Amino acid sequence: MPNISRKGQRMPASPIRKLTPYADQAKLNGRTVYHLNIGQPDIETPVGMIQAVKNIDFKVWAYTPSEGTLSYRKQLTKYYNKAGYNITPEDIIVTAGGSEAISITFMTCLDAGDEVIVPEPFYANYNSFASQSDIVVRPILSHITNGFALPPISEFEKTITDKTRAIFICSPNNPTGYLYSREEMEALKALVLKHDLYLFADEAYREFCYNDQPFVSPMHLDGLDENVIIIDTVSKRYSACGARLGCIITKNRKFWETAIKFAQARLSPGLVEQIAGEAAIDTPDEYFERVKAEYTARRNTVVNALNNMEGVFCPNPGGAFYVMAQLPIDNSDKFCQWMLEEFSYENQTVMMAPATGFYSTPGAGLNEVRLAYVLNNNDLAKAMKCLEEALKVYPGRVTAENRKQKAESIL
Amino acid sequence: MPNISRKGQRMPASPIRKLTPYADQAKLNGRTVYHLNIGQPDIETPVGMIQAVKNIDFKVWAYTPSEGTLSYRKQLTKYYNKAGYNITPEDIIVTAGGSEAISITFMTCLDAGDEVIVPEPFYANYNSFASQSDIVVRPILSHITNGFALPPISEFEKTITDKTRAIFICSPNNPTGYLYSREEMEALKALVLKHDLYLFADEAYREFCYNDQPFVSPMHLDGLDENVIIIDTVSKRYSACGARLGCIITKNRKFWETAIKFAQARLSPGLVEQIAGEAAIDTPDEYFERVKAEYTARRNTVVNALNNMEGVFCPNPGGAFYVMAQLPIDNSDKFCQWMLEEFSYENQTVMMAPATGFYSTPGAGLNEVRLAYVLNNNDLAKAMKCLEEALKVYPGRVTAENRKQKAESIL
């Protein structure tokens, strides 16, 4: 039998999806499972987008240009320029979701062994795309205690080597929900200019900023044209995850002309998706207002409930639709599995993502979980009640006091 | 300004698309351009597929499982088992076109520096996907004189090194149209078993076999379960290139379990495409009969016309919708560009793909072009007339006689 590649062996399995068999079993056993584990919102996709799909009137489902249709890129330009990006359709390459945007960006800028610095915790699949291209992710710890703010620039400076090519941020952040301030963005700008690095910015959650804190993109900063690569997707913005429609935006021509070669290799993004994406740009502002109000209410439900549980701490995030919570537990992987395998409250349980999957640093996130508030407030309240009851009886419960004792006994 | 990766610099630009600016200019100048350069058929997509798109009734455009929906994989199983593949839905991973199927297959089986043997000429993007993963393509020349039949197995044996991991075939072939016989497939089987290699088979053109010659897949051969990886796509089968819907099929579990990790990284194939793909399986047989009759007639038009031109030779291919023709020209890149820039017959010209883009061996294909018969017979006849007139006046015309003289003068 021929061998699997070493790359294939090293490739990480999805840490979020590995608990799925336990959830499936729980459901087979008749239990209700509240899915707070993945970023698949229950929010309805804008009617205009769905209607555009239903109205297709072509007879041949043909390739589009590798960079996407001009009409879609024109509409996107309208959307981004309303947000102050000052771009033209020539600055865009349409991709199969944010995923393809990331892998093309990595291949365009980094060779095997090159390094990208990412504040952690971070979206686990960054690791996967790095692994695909034999790129090294250098994590820099951010901390739950200050809500996962940008780590000090001195930490970045310490991590930069002659292999460092880029800094990769995600704001509003998955998994933390943290929204970088203008000051933090300015600090990153100075850093990438000083060291001549790319700044990759995953902006999947751009539309979901709360507390009246403004969203600041690196596209809003002057003097970064050659450094900034924006990764975007319609997945979360329009609750259209299954459309697989994203894009890369950059004013760096050399980057664009290289990235398009990777895009040409896979021929074309989807035609129907681009038609839908074009319609999506005309989504009325009320859609986002309604969705933001809904997410804000959900976030409040979850954050309040969590912080009212004994031994639990959950920062109040400024964006996205995730929270990270510190729980009084020994091991989040074990806890999340136990929730599905062993626990039941009124025949219900909760599926969460162990935070360990979002960290590269060994041992980090052991007592943290990520919750996606992608269910309605009613179900979220029931899920929180479930979690509260679970924490009372979890055999691996660890309080701050006995965690400290344990640490001392090890020393 | 930060640097582009060496990988990005090495990445080949699409050889097929590089003439596009000249074609655009010709059209701006008011000339009709017959596009025989790319495999974008004018055939209508099956009505059932389009109708399935128009009938979508979901409210949330959600992710599907990374391996594709079970219902689509069940339908695919029905289709493949009708063709004698004997598979289950668990043998399939749904992908974004054949393109993603190839890149996942490469990453799953080959590491940087590993080698894949490909009979040439071959689909140019195999080079691109190899380049993405730093994989080495080792071409083995097939020849227009015998219609691009499988090169002798001894040529493969000579090329196999300790870095060789796979042999990659495409039958019916793009760009040659050649359809491998059962004997050729059996020879390949013996070879891959002897050397414990993977056999990658791109079957994008499966449905388009002419002359009553049967299509033989490696899936029809016994004892190859661990070796065979099928690459497929709906692009050509249903004239749905812009759907970006393909799949990988294998009975090798270890391969599947590794490939799915790459599929998980990019989350999901498209939901709407899978709904359309599911409907496509119920396309009535008459659709294929009609399309095959149409392609056969077109092939006859093109092959007859070409072989009636002085100094031109074109084998009669058994499948796909391409022919390779040997022309009395000095350089196919120059000739194809000249056709667009300089030539006009009754204000028309023809865009073809220089064959050099399908060869890795330097100098191979210099006097060959690929023509895709993706236009109706009427337009094809006009295009052939154009080409005939062009060859009469092309300044770089080379006859067999003066080619021989030239070769002797160099010696």
| Cβ neighbours of A50 in B, within 8 Å | 56, 58-59, 61
Q: What spatial distance separates the first Cα and last Cα of chain B, rounded to whole Å?
A: 49
Q: Which residues pair with residue A326 across a beta bridge?
A: A313, A368
Distance CA(B382)–CA(B348), nearest Å, equals 9
Number of other CB atoms surrounding residue B155 within 10 Å: 14
CB contact under 8 A, B54 and A55: yes
Q: Which residues pair with residue A42 across a beta bridge?
A: none
Position A400 scores a pLDDT of: 67
Position A15 scores a pLDDT of: 75
- Average pLDDT, rounded, for chain B: 95
Q: Which amino acid, residue B250?
A: T
Q: Which residues pair with residue A201 across a beta bridge?
A: A169, A230
Confidence grade of residue B38 (pLDDT, cut at 50, 70, 90): confident
DSSP states of A223-272: T-TTTEEEEEESTTTTT-GGG--EEEE-S-HHHHHHHHHHHHHT----HH
Partner residue facing B243 (CB), from A4, A196, A270: A270
ipTM: 0.95
Residue B163 has pLDDT above 60, yes or no: yes
pLDDT in tens, chain A (411 residues): 999 999 999 999 887 778 989 999 999 999 999 999 988 899 999 999 999 999 999 999 999 999 999 999 999 999 999 999 999 999 999 999 999 999 999 999 999 999 999 999 999 999 999 999 999 999 999 999 999 999 999 999 999 999 999 999 999 999 999 999 999 999 999 999 999 999 999 999 999 999 889 999 999 999 999 999 999 999 999 999 999 999 999 999 999 999 999 999 999 999 999 999 999 999 999 999 999 999 999 999 999 999 999 999 999 999 999 999 999 999 999 999 999 999 999 999 999 999 999 999 999 999 999 999 999 999 999 999 999 999 999 999 997 666 666 656 655
| Cβ neighbours of B40 in A, within 8 Å | 62-63
CB contact under 8 A, B99 and A61: no
Partner residue facing A262 (CB), from B11, B45, B110: B11
Residue B261 has pLDDT above 60, yes or no: yes
Our CA-based measurement puts residue B2 at a distance from the nearest CA of chain A, in whole angstroms, of 5
Of B309, B339, B312, which Cα lies nearest the Cα of B325? B312
Our CA-based measurement puts residue A99 at a distance from the nearest CA of chain B, in whole angstroms, of 5
CB contact under 8 A, B99 and A265: yes
Mean pLDDT of B333-361: 96
CB contact under 8 A, A111 and B5: yes
Our CA-based measurement puts residue B88 at a distance from the nearest CA of chain A, in whole angstroms, of 20
> Best residue in B244, B253, B258, B271 to probe A by mutation, most A CBs within 10 Å?
B244
- Which contiguous run of DSSP H or E holds residue B263? helix B253-265
CB contact under 8 A, A266 and B42: no
CB contact under 8 A, B8 and A109: yes
Q: Which two tokens stand for residue B402?
A: 């003066």
Give the distance, in angstroms, between the CA of residue A136 and the centroid of all CA atoms in the same chain. Answer: 19
| Cβ neighbours of A241 in B, within 8 Å | 61-63, 267-268
- Contact at 8 Å (CB) between B218 and B249? no
Chain A, 319-348: which have a CB under 8 Å from a chain B CB? none
What DSSP state is assigned to residue B148? Answer: T
Q: Which two tokens stand for residue B12?
A: 């080949």
Our CA-based measurement puts residue A51 at a distance from the nearest CA of chain B, in whole angstroms, of 9
Q: How do beta strands B32-35 and B92-95 pair?
A: unpaired
Number of other CB atoms surrounding residue B82 within 10 Å: 9
Residue partners of A401: CB distance under 8 A and separation at least 6:
none
**B111 touching A, CB under 8 A?**
yes
Residue partners of A281: CB distance under 8 A and separation at least 6:
A75, A76, A78, A79
Chain A, 66-95: which have a CB under 8 Å from a chain B CB? 66
C-alpha distances out from residue B163 to A96, B135, B229, Å? 32, 10, 19
Chain B, 250-289: which have a CB under 8 Å from a chain A CB? 252, 254-255, 258-259, 261-262, 264-273
Residue B263 has pLDDT above 60, yes or no: yes
Position A405 scores a pLDDT of: 66
| Cβ neighbours of A269 in B, within 8 Å | 244
Which ranges in B266-376 belong to alpha helices (H)? Answer: 271-280, 285-307, 332-341
The b-or-e profile of B110-128 (16+ CB within 10 A means b, else e) is bbeebbbbbbbbbbbbbbb
- Contact at 8 Å (CB) between A164 and A192? no
Number of other CB atoms surrounding residue B184 within 10 Å: 18
| Cβ neighbours of A129 in B, within 8 Å | 265
Residue partners of A298: CB distance under 8 A and separation at least 6:
A321, A373, A375, A376, A377, A380
| Cβ neighbours of A61 in B, within 8 Å | 45, 49-50, 238-243
Our CA-based measurement puts residue A262 at a distance from the nearest CA of chain B, in whole angstroms, of 7
CB contact under 8 A, A226 and B1: yes
The radius of gyration of chain A from alpha carbons, rounded to an integer in Å, stands at 22
Distance CA(B22)–CA(B207), nearest Å, equals 33
Distance CA(B312)–CA(B118), nearest Å, equals 27
Chain A, 15-74: which have a CB under 8 Å from a chain B CB? 17, 38, 40-45, 49-50, 53-56, 58-64, 66
Distance CA(A396)–CA(B56), nearest Å, equals 47
Position B212 scores a pLDDT of: 87
Could you give all domains of chain B from N- to C-terminal order, each with its CATH number? 6-44+286-399 (3.90.1150.10), 47-280 (3.40.640.10)
